[in-house]
Structures are given as C-alpha cells and as structure tokens.
Structure 1
C-alpha cells in the first residue's frame, strides 16, 4: 500500500500554490496551504508533515527565518524543506541551504522538475529516519555539532566520548553506522575499529573515520582494519551526509541481495525437503497429505497468538517437516497394519531425533529443530525423546502436537477408520494436562471455530 504524503506549501501567491499542487497531483499527497510565513509556522507546528515547500519572499515571516525556526524546533527539525523561489542567485541559494533547506528550485522549473525533487526528498528523508548513526569523539563540541547536524538531516543520533563507551553503546543499540574520531582516550579509533570488526554481532556495521590527520599511512592503516571510509576534519556537513547516505545505501543493497540469496536457497531447500515428505507419504497411502494438513492447522493456530510473520513461517515449515524423520523408519514398521511390538515402537520413536539430524544439516532451518524434535513430548513428562515436561517443551512443538494428534485421530489408518470429529475432540479433552497442553488445546478450539 502506498503512503499518503503530508505536504505543507507556504507561498504568498495563490497562483504559485496552485501551480505546485498541479505539479504534484499525480503523487498520493494530502496538501495543506499557507499564504504567509507566520501562518505556515503555526500550521507546521500543529500536525505532522513529510515535507515543507516554501518561498523565500513571504509576508509576515520570510522563508529563511521560517526555515531556521523549523530546524530549531524538535517537532519539525527532521522534516525536509524545499525552497521554490524566483530568487536564484548563488547567495540566495547559499542562504537557503544554510538555513536548513534540503533542496532549492526555481519557480520556472515547477512543472518540469518539482515532482521528481519532492519524491526524492521525501524518499531520502524516510530512509534517514530509519537509520541510527553513532558519533564517537572525545570533543564535546564535535559531538554536538555533528550530532545536531545529523539530527536536523533526519537521522537518529547516539553519542559516546571514547572507543570503550562507543563499543558498549554499539553492543546495546546496534547502530546502522559508526562515525568515529581516531585520537581518543581509553580506546582510540584504531582499537575501536578493530573491536567492531572482530565482533560477529557488530562487524556488519559500516565504520567511518573522521580525523584531522591527513597522513596517508593513517588512512591506509584504518582502512585495513575495516573502516568503510575516511573523512578529514573540518568537513562540510552536507559532504558528510552524502557520504553516509552512499555508504548506507550500498550497504543496504548488499544486505538485501544477501538476504534474497539466502531466502532463495532456503526456499529451494524447503522445496527439496517437502519433496522428501511427499515421497515419504507416498509410501503410505493412509498418511498422504498429513504433513500439509498439520501445517495448515498449526499456521491457523499460531496466527491467533499475534505471532510475527517469521514465527508463523517457522511454525508452518515445522508443521510440514515434523515427521521428516520417518524417512529413516523401516517399511515393515512404518506400514505395519497391526499393533507394533515393543521393539518396533521403540524404533518408530526414533523419528523425531532422525528428523532433527536431517534438519541440522540444512543451513537456515536450525530454528525448526525444536518443533521436529519435540512434537511427541507430553506435558506430563512421559513423551519422547527427552521426557520434557510442561513449558520445557517448545511452544510451537506443543501446538504441533495438538494438530498432529487431531489429524491422526480423524484420519484412516491400516488398522482402523478415522474417528468422527466428536469422538476425536473427546479424546483430546481427556488428554489435556497429560499428553496435551491446555492452552494449546484452547487455541486449537478457537482455530476450529474460526475455520468452520
């Protein structure tokens, strides 16, 4: 679903305001107008906006002072400002950017360039809002100047005064990028960079160095230690923001590609394993479709808990693969039409552990192992393979156990016909607190009511 942008246009001319609205009519935007700077400021403070578009030459309060006031206020300082004006000298543009504007456009270019500039500006702003920068410098003034500048540009900012505190902060907050000085007490920039890049949980965070030292050997050394970039003080804030956005954008695309590759490989693996399940169920006509039906029930139940998409996906895959270990069970046991001997039952009880071993060999499916391994545990501790009790049994394994039991009771088997639903539900009720988790049975009944 596309987001509706909230845009405030501040211009003394109703004709110009109409031109701007016309240029933006293909955007999904809710546009509010103000005819002078003072009124524009009041409206800006009264509600959330995604963008301000203002002229410089305004009644009551000019666009430069308006921009400064917007950038000083906590509620509006991260909202981008576009100046659209007939005043297009280098000095006018410089004053606009110094006041905090993100872009500057001539009124002659409203029809040709405004829509694209608005789209890019809002997109960049949204990108920044979702990004946290950690600024580490022993100079309080540098932390203040850089931190406030990045805040005004829309980034979330965290600060620390040395590498040791910066490392602790990074471990707690896991920022999207670290911006660090080199010469600091307790832990300098070299040590800090090495510590970040040697920590498996932090090594994917881009590390940018800011320093007055222009010595090439220093630059090479810190880059070899894992720094993503080196910027020399003093620098222009816009220059720093462009560098940060470029690094974060490249980093995001790299992570996105890695995630896509990982997900593709994972789906291929699941497809292969699901094929094995299909082959397994083809051995026994009486259990055909069992795993898919169990997975469908489990997903329906888990959704009712308000679980995340990743948890729902995990429960679904676990439901599909819960019996994968039966691949390792002999046909004369798995397909036996009569009662199993003690030795045969002990053999079939191995299938959760066999399944867990199969899943353990597949990258990306380790979170499924608890479901596969524990779906035959009982809340009274008399299940297998480990005799887990109550909440020792993983939650989604307890949910899977209820779905698995219901489907087994209502399905035809070589030695009996499937039970009527009423009889199966009676048996499930009788096994609450012994075999089955009471909360999971309640969840099952809730799903059953919704499904029917």
Structure 2
C-alpha cells in the first residue's frame, strides 16, 4: 500500500561559509526537506522570486555585503512570507532580542549540533503549520460568511452593495471598483473609496486593469512600493503616486466570466499580500455565481411579471372601469411598504399581490361585475367569493405560495367583520392589511360603473372614519400623509420594469 505523505517544507540556507552550508544542507535533506542554498544576502533575494512556496530561511548573522538582520528586514518588507531563523557565532542577548523584534521566528547560536538545528527547524515549522491552519480556518469562515450574505440577496443592487461591504470589511482597501459584463461590454457598476473620487485618469487606468484581468482570467497582485523583482504589473504605474499596492481578480462562473474587481491601497496601510490576493480570488469566484443567479432571477422575474400582468388584464378586460386598477394598487402598496421600511422581499410580495389581488374576479359573472347599481345581497355574496377563487387559481403555481395570504385576506377588516374568514387585528397578515388600505383608496378615487371617482376630501373622511374599524389606523394615517404630498400623482406614471430595477422604482 502506498501512503501519500504530506510534502516536507522548503528551506533556504544563507551563509558565506561553504562547509557549514554543506553540513546543514545534508542534514536537512536527509530529514526530508527541500533545501536551497545561497552564499550571501543579495543572492538569497534573487532566489526568492523563484521560490514562492518557501517556508523557512536560515541565515547567518554576519555576512559580507548584507547582514542577516538586513536580509530579515527585506523579507519582512514583502519579499517573502517565509519564517526566519538567525544563526551566528557572535551571539548576545541584544542580538537575539533585535532579531526577534524584527520578526525572526527564533535564534540559533553557533556552534550548534545538528540535532539542535533540526529541533529548532521542526519547532518553527510546526508553529507555521498551526498558524497556516488558523488562517485557513479564518478564511473558510470569511468565505462562508460571504456566501451566507450573498444568498440572502436576489437583486443586483442589494447584491452589489453586500459584496462591496464584504470586500471592504475583509480587505480594508482605500478604493474598490466592480466591473460587470453587460450587452455593451465590461462596465464599471460600482466604485467606492476616496482614492477614486475626482481622479478620472486613475479610473481609466483601473478600468484597463479590470478589462485585462477579465480577459485573461488571471488574478494580479501589484506591489509598487517594493524594489527588486517586479510583481505582476499593468502598462505603466497608476496616475497616483500614493498608491502602493493593487489587487485584481476575475469573477468566473462555470460557463463564463461575469466581471472583475480591483482593490487599491495607499501609503497609509500595509501592502496587500499573496494571501489577500488568493482570498479575493475565492471571494470573486463565489460572488460571480451569485451575480449570475441574480441576473437569471431578474430575467425570470421579468417573464413572470408579464404573465402576472396578463392575468390582471384578463380580469380587467371584463370591466372597462377597473382597467389599470391592479397596477395602481400594486404601485401604491409598494410605495406604502417602502415608506414603512419593509424588506425588498416584502415589497415584491406587495407588488405581485397588488397585481393579482382581484384575479378571482375572473370567475365572477359579468352581469355582477359590471352592474351599474348597488348589488343585491345574493349578488354581493357571489362577489365575496373572489378572494377564495383567486387563492384557488394561484394555488396551482408553486412560486406564488407567499402571495396567497395577501390575495385571500385583502378584504378582511380589523374589527372582524370582513370576509372571507372574519379575522381581526393581527390575525390578518400584515401585507394584506397594507393592501386593503391602498385597494380601497384606489377604488374610491377611480370611476366605477355605479359612480364617478370621489373627491379627495371625501376619500380622506371615509378612510379616517374607518381607521381602527375597517383598516389599521396607523396605516391609514401614513397613507393619507403620502397621498396628500404634491408629487403623489407621479406614482401613477411609475412603470415597474422588473426585479433588478425594483428598488429604484419604490424609491421614486
């Protein structure tokens, strides 16, 4: 049986003494490590660009050209994320303290025996493994939090805001630009951060970077503050000298890429690291699927909306006086819901419920629907069946399940004398109570077969008189405040175009 063991760590030994290099290399190689050697600091720095997976640097303290402490400083400035072990024959407490202060993992005085070296190395690497495990766990938690947050959003606007908030919380950038693909190509959909305000040249440069990352499907990490081997870079530096590090990642799905994201930091913060870049890449990939789902959901919503409107038109085709009633009730309901601070999901339920609230009237005889005079008791009993008929019709459509309570209960009264169930107060679903107010308002302010539209002062008196009896009193109060605003009439021109743009509509 073949056992796949975890590969041993990669180690770079730096010393100007060849014999010590040979001894250390032989011992560490026999222990299973991958070992590289360099004779001085500059040589070690050149090698680092070719050793991205390096775990540990073991360096002599005193060397020509560049000391071990100077090499340590270079590594901690961003040349490598490897741990560092200082060894020297000129040991002192002060040297040990200084090396640890600068970020060394440990200190090994010369002369030493090989077993001591191996113990030090194993200890440092075990601590490194533990640290990496904690980082992985932390990053897993971050990705899970991102996924959970993204899964609660189904429209582009909320999804974009949530994604940018997650990016800012986890990466603390000074500037963020999100690019998404549409019919006209890759477009800047959201921009945050002081670095990008009032700097169109920087915006142009960032877009070129975003387009290249989108096209090549490869992440980029650009470190402008470091000398030495260049990191992945764009065509020329950005037109802002304060920017020191940049990350960019594509947003791929299984079928295609939906966009890219670019993050910038200036001199006030530490540079982005490879770990940051890897995590951003994971964030972008996870969110790409959410954006694609939102796009597909938006398309499905648009299709459903057409079907929903056709249902309403089928009802209104039977009664010329109610044409447009359902659309106006839907608009009024979402406007009142938005004023109340309801969630996006509830606003959609209100809109759809408004469109479909009278769908049951399709089963009511025309002679009753279009009667120009008051209905008889028997005729009114037939009319009262339309909420039940509406629920029965829509109950066949699984996706309308959450809308059924609005349809079924929109003629209940808070005093318990409504129909079909005679519910009262909080027994009536809240969204149905909202719809009841605006449905009655729209009916009173529109022409009907049996009367002309009532003037606003009469409608106000009727609503105020019925507050606390037919309708919830605080909902009546808030709705009348909205209805008496000068721009209220503009609500009649609002065109709800679909799920993606819904927030813009309800804010109108």
1:419 has 2:430 as partner: no
> 1: CA distance between counterparts of 2:169 and 2:477?
48
Matches within 5 A, 1:96-107: 105=231
Q: Is the 8 A contact 1:128 1:153 kept in 2?
A: no
Report the CA distance between 1:364 and its aligned residue: 2.7
DSSP 3-state at the match of 1:385: coil
Give the counterpart of 1:65 among 64, 72, 76.
76
Give the counterpart of 1:83 among 215, 223, 228.
223
Report the CA distance between 1:416 and its aligned residue: 2.0
Give the counterpart of 1:430 among 461, 465, 472.
465
Matches within 5 A, 1:256-405: 256-405=291-440
Q: Is the 8 A contact 2:358 2:390 kept in 1?
A: yes
Report the CA distance between 1:255 and its aligned residue: 4.8
Question: What do residues 347-403 of structure 1 show as CA deviations (whole Å, max 9, x unaligned)?
Answer: 111111221222232243322222111110100111111211111212221111111
Partner in structure 2 of residue 118 of structure 1? 246
Question: What do residues 96-140 of structure 1 show as CA deviations (whole Å, max 9, x unaligned)?
Answer: xxxxxxxx528xx5644879x93516999x9899xxxxxxxxxxx
Higher relative contact order (CA closer than 8 Å, sequence separation 6+): 2
> 1: CA distance between counterparts of 2:365 and 2:285?
52
Q: Is the 8 A contact 1:294 1:403 kept in 2?
A: yes
Partner in structure 2 of residue 408 of structure 1? 443
Q: Is the 8 A contact 1:266 1:363 kept in 2?
A: no
Question: What do residues 217-248 of structure 1 show as CA deviations (whole Å, max 9, x unaligned)?
Answer: xxxxxxxxxxxxxxxxxxxxx9xx58x956x7
Moved over 6 A (4+): 74-77, 126-129
DSSP 3-state at the match of 1:299: helix
DSSP 3-state at the match of 2:223: strand
Q: Is the 8 A contact 1:105 1:114 kept in 2?
A: no
DSSP 3-state at the match of 1:388: coil
Matches within 5 A, 1:226-245: 245=281
User: Highest Rg: 1 or 2?
Assistant: 2
Partner in structure 1 of residue 40 of structure 2? none
Question: What do residues 151-193 of structure 1 show as CA deviations (whole Å, max 9, x unaligned)?
Answer: 9945xxxxxxxxxxxxxxxxxxxxxxxxxxxxxxxxxxxxxxx
Distance 1:123 1:250, change over 3 A: closer
> 2: CA distance between counterparts of 1:345 and 1:396?
25
Distance 1:78 1:66, change over 3 A: farther
Matches within 5 A, 1:193-272: 245=281, 252-272=287-307
Report the CA distance between 1:283 and its aligned residue: 1.5
> 1: CA distance between counterparts of 2:327 and 2:360?
16
Q: Is the 8 A contact 1:352 1:373 kept in 2?
A: yes
Partner in structure 2 of residue 195 of structure 1? none
DSSP 3-state at the match of 1:365: helix
Q: Is the 8 A contact 1:298 1:399 kept in 2?
A: yes
Long gaps (5+) in structure 1:
1-58, 89-103, 130-150, 155-237
Pairwise CA RMSD of aligned residues? 4.3
Report the CA distance between 1:321 and its aligned residue: 1.4
Question: What do residues 61-105 of structure 1 show as CA deviations (whole Å, max 9, x unaligned)?
Answer: 9564345799x9x999955885344422xxxxxxxxxxxxxxx52
Report the CA distance between 1:411 and its aligned residue: 2.0
Distance 1:78 1:289, change over 3 A: closer
DSSP 3-state at the match of 2:231: strand
> 2: CA distance between counterparts of 1:316 and 1:416?
27
